[in-house]
Amino acid sequence: MDNSLQESAGSFTFVGMKYKLKSAIASAALLVATLIPLSASASEVCVGADCTVTFEYTGAVQTWIVPNGASNVQFDVKGAQGAGGAGGGTVKGNLRNLPGTVSIYVGGAGSYGAYLAGGFNGGGSSGGNRGNEGSGGGASDIRLGTALGSRIAVAGGGGGPGGLTGAAGAPGGGLQALRGGSGQGAGGFGGGQSSGGSGGSSNGGSAASGGGFGAGGSGGSSWNAGGGGGGGGWYGGGGGGGDDDNCCADGGGGGGGSSFTDPTHVANPTHIVDGRAGNGTVTITYQLPLMLVSFSGVQIDSDSALYSLEMSSAISGLDSQDFELTSSGCVLNEINVNESLASIALTNCAEGSILLTLLANSVGSGATGPNTSTSFQVEFDGTGPDFVFDSEEILTSQDSLLISFTTSPDVLAVESEMFEIQGCEAAEILQNEVSLSGCVTGLHQLLLPANSLSDQWGNLGPQTEVSFSFEVDRDSPEALWSEVTIAGTGPFTYSATLTFSEEVDFNPQSVSINFDSDCTLVFEQQVQGWRFDAVCGYGEGNFELAADSLTDRVLSTGPSSAYRLGFDNRAPLVVAQPEPEPGIIAPPSAPAPVSELPPTASEPDVESTDPADSETVATPETTPSPVTPPAVPAKVIDQALKLVVGTTPKPIVISIDENESPLVVEMEPERVIEPAAPVVTNLEPRSEPVLAQPVRGAPLQAQAERAWFAPWIAALLAGFMVLIGLGFWRFSGR
């Protein structure tokens, strides 16, 4: 024989022997059906925490998985009736000390007919041969396993009736079940707590059998009428006796099966005889503990939080005493319950952690749940958003700029309307920057008022206003010359102060002196600006600041062109006259040219002892004449001077007497050159002194060209006056 294994179309075939897989599966399914309850065999209904599960007749064992934490488990077990109406017994009580799973057996009712098997779970069979004999009903029970000895609660079944016009069977139930009715055949005895009922005696024919542990006895048989079967129970009832005589009454009824409860697993039992028609039933009621389904909390605004609680069934008796609250200020404000849901509102919360605990066994009318305490923590945000300007100090020459900032990550929005700004035309938010445009020169401030921002919870911030200062400088630096002062009697000191419109970088070497002759220029930094002193003789000139020699903090330069301050201190014209002889006006002689030597830096200024420092005295040279010319009228001399000198300032003649000193011409008083622009004050002096440095001034060519011929005019005038005098002299005939 070839014992090789082959697979073909769902079958495994050994050569010479073939086993069908489908047959094996069907057999296995039949076996399982006798061990595992069908889902349709029991129905469970829970109302709140109260649940009821009912097991109906299936003809097979059923199971009940005891719910975790189930309490107050009660049972109501009813045995099946025997054929003909003898009802099954009832037993009630409380189950305790249960394992995780129990087995349920529901008894089946007895049937009419000769030699019929009794109902499921212990019913006794009927006798024969009349055909209207009845079998006993099966018991209903709860077991810790499947063995008869593991039964903890049993309700006995009813006995079956005797045949023909026989007696009725006894109802089941009770610790000692009842005896069946008797005809000519005797009724069977009911089962007890330690033995089954005895079978009834027969009137001819075969004898009935007694009941046993968990099973009823069989009815007796005869050609005329048989006895009824005994009811199943803790101990079954005995079968009824048969009747061999067609006279009078006939077969006896079967005895009832007894009920039972195990005191280890059943409390407060109640036994009822009779009462159940048809198949038996097993009903179990219990209460589920309030099991916690969910417990959580969230922050809902700047000072409130809301917790949510869901239990496995309807919530009752929930109040503030069932909670424990740990927080920095929250109070439990309100509890709302809706069936199995509850909400717990907290108010007056502050920054920090909130821990709310639901205490164990605090919910339900019997305070049955939850089994353990349960907590949930909420991190409460009670602080408003922060705001910080990130930019460093800004000094710019542009009219637009960006100022960056940082806020808390939960801030809702930053809008340009929240800011206060003056000196700029517009503000715009670009992500984490404020864009400003149209800014004018000046020191400005960008301000965010306190509590302008909000986070997702409604917290306001920042707590105080936040400001940022910046400076816009769009103007080029400017310089301002003060008035020129002239001091001394020659050489003279021409002084002027240079101030600035703003803080600048400045080199005093960028200032020069332009003059008719050489000058010495020195400078010194003052509290406000720089002072420049030029030591020169007579003449006119100017101080000159070079173009773009000033640089401000934004690197703008100025002035755009050279900035000059002019002054004029030209020498006065002096005419000296010789002493005339009596009656003759001596012709003037040409004065000797006077050359002015510029002082050196080492020579000190010579101060005059004369009270009038602004006057200069010139001593003319005189030459005696051997011939006294005729006197020329003074009027003629004045007219001649006007013709020759023109716009030359007229000297004031002090005296022309021959006994007095030579002619002295008054000089004009010291002149002050007013500046064209105002002087800027309040400038900070440089911290380090600047040593004065002499600078040689460049002579003005135009002034030099005007000054060289002045002495020659005077000489020509004197010669012209001599010729006029000689003419008058010759004309007069002398």
Q: Mean pLDDT over residues 361-390, rounded?
A: 86
Q: What CATH number corresponds to the domain at position 326?
A: 2.60.40
Residue 721 DSSP code: H
Q: Are residues 222 and 103 in the same domain?
A: yes
Q: Are residues 298 and 207 in the same domain?
A: no
| Closest of 540, 548, 509 to residue 696, by C-alpha | 509
Task: Give me the residue label for tokens 């503990």.
Answer: 289
698-710 burial, b at 16+ Cβ within 10 Å, e below that, comes to: bbbeebeeebeee
pLDDT of residue 283: 98
pLDDT of residue 657: 41
pLDDT of residue 726: 73
Q: Are residues 81 and 180 in the same domain?
A: yes
Taking only the tens place, the pLDDT of each residue in 568-597 is: 998 888 766 666 655 555 455 444 444 443
pLDDT of residue 64: 96
pLDDT of residue 536: 93
Distance (Å, rounded) from C-alpha 428 to C-alpha 433? 8
Q: Are residues 68 and 169 in the same domain?
A: yes
Q: Are residues 404 and 430 in the same domain?
A: yes
pLDDT of residue 675: 45
Of the ranges 114-118, 299-303, 391-395, which is most confident?
114-118
DSSP H helix total and E strand total for the chain: 4, 42
**Structural element, H or E, at residue 152:** strand 151-155
Q: Mean pLDDT over residues 470-484, rounded?
A: 93
Q: Are residues 365 and 315 in the same domain?
A: yes
Distance (Å, rounded) from C-alpha 137 to C-alpha 601? 150
Assigned domain for 45 exists? yes
Q: Are residues 231 and 194 in the same domain?
A: yes
> Where residue 431 falls among pLDDT bands split at 50, 70, 90?
confident
Q: What CATH number corresponds to the domain at position 393?
A: 2.60.40.1080
Strand 394-396 versus strand 466-472 pairing type: parallel
Which two structure tokens, joined as six digits, stand for 243?
């009747």
Cis amide prior to 689 (ω within 30 degrees): no
**Per-residue pLDDT for 12 more than 50?**
no
Distance (Å, rounded) from C-alpha 83 to C-alpha 226? 14
Mean pLDDT across the chain:
80
Q: Are residues 219 and 281 in the same domain?
A: yes
| Closest of 583, 577, 579 to residue 629, by C-alpha | 583
* pTM (whole model) above 0.85: no
Q: How many domains does the chain have?
A: 4
End position of a domain, from candidates 472, 507, 540:
472
Lowest-pLDDT range, 63-72, 211-220, 609-618?
609-618
> Where residue 147 falls among pLDDT bands split at 50, 70, 90?
very high
Backbone conformation region of residue 50, classed left if phi is above 0, alpha if psi is from -120 to 50, else beta? beta
Assigned domain for 165 exists? yes
Q: Are residues 331 and 201 in the same domain?
A: no
Assigned domain for 663 exists? no
Assigned domain for 602 exists? no
> Where residue 20 falls among pLDDT bands split at 50, 70, 90?
very low
Task: Give me the residue label for tokens 């099991």.
Answer: 291
End position of a domain, from candidates 428, 452, 472:
472
Distance (Å, rounded) from C-alpha 498 to C-alpha 511? 10
Taking only the tens place, the pLDDT of each residue in 675-711 is: 444 444 344 444 444 444 444 444 444 444 444 555 6
pLDDT of residue 567: 92
Assigned domain for 708 exists? no
Assigned domain for 351 exists? yes
End position of a domain, from candidates 324, 358, 380:
380
State the amino acid at position 36 in one-letter form: I
Helix/strand/coil (H, E, C) string of 42-63?
EEEEEECCEEEEEECCCCCCEE
Q: Are residues 452 and 484 in the same domain?
A: no
Taking only the tens place, the pLDDT of each residue in 541-569 is: 999 999 999 999 999 999 999 999 999 99
**Per-residue pLDDT for 418 more than 70?**
yes
End-to-end CA distance of the chain: 197
122 three-class SS:
coil
Structural domain that includes position 524: 479-569
pLDDT of residue 730: 65
More confident residue, 185 or 641: 185
Q: Are residues 310 and 360 in the same domain?
A: yes
pLDDT of residue 335: 95
How buried is 276 (Cβ within 10 angstroms: 0-12 exposed, 13-18 middle, 19+ buried)? buried
Assigned domain for 616 exists? no
Alpha-carbon radius of gyration of the chain: 70
pLDDT of residue 723: 80
Assigned domain for 214 exists? yes
More confident residue, 614 or 169: 169
Q: Are residues 102 and 204 in the same domain?
A: yes
Which two structure tokens, joined as six digits, stand for 497?
């102060």
pLDDT of residue 693: 44
Task: Give me the residue label for tokens 């050196």.
Answer: 600
Taking only the tens place, the pLDDT of each residue in 310-353 is: 988 888 889 999 999 998 789 999 999 998 899 999 999 999 99
Residues 6+ apart with CB under 8 A from 42: 53, 54, 55, 56, 62, 64, 104
Which two structure tokens, joined as six digits, stand for 518?
């050489």
Q: Which residues does residue 492 pair with via DSSP β-bridges, in sequence order? A: 536
